Amino acid sequence: MALAHPTAATAAAQAARESADTTESGFELRFESLFNPGRGLSFPCDAGGRVELDSLPDRLRHNYLYARAVVGREFAAPAVVRQRRH
């Protein structure tokens, strides 16, 4: 009996579950602007601050990688905070 290889649909379903798990954790990784008080970027994460990059849309992933690259120049070191309820 041959083992089945995961399909793209299975991989997409797994990514969706992981994204939901991260979002449901109620935490976000927040990068505060060094120059504009109250402004910054935030990304869904788990309680340990881990961001699931594969589950982020392209634009959000790009913004996350940018924020990490400019810590200390444009953004403060990130902090894990509880997500704000809207």
Domains of the chain, residue spans: 15-82
Can you tell me the distance from the alpha carbon of 49 to that of 56, in angstroms, rounded to the nearest whole number?
15
Nearest to 79 by CA among 21, 12, 31, 20: 31
> Are 54 and 15 in contact, with CB atoms under 8 Å apart?
yes
> Cα 77 vs. chain centroid, distance in angstroms?
15
Mean pLDDT (whole number) for 5-22: 43
Q: What is the pLDDT of residues 32-80, one digit of tens each?
A: 999 999 999 999 999 999 999 999 999 999 999 999 999 999 999 999 9
Q: What pTM, to 2 d.p., does this model score?
A: 0.69
Can you tell me the distance from the alpha carbon of 44 to that of 50, in angstroms, rounded to the nearest whole number?
9
Q: Which H helix or E strand runs over 35?
A: none
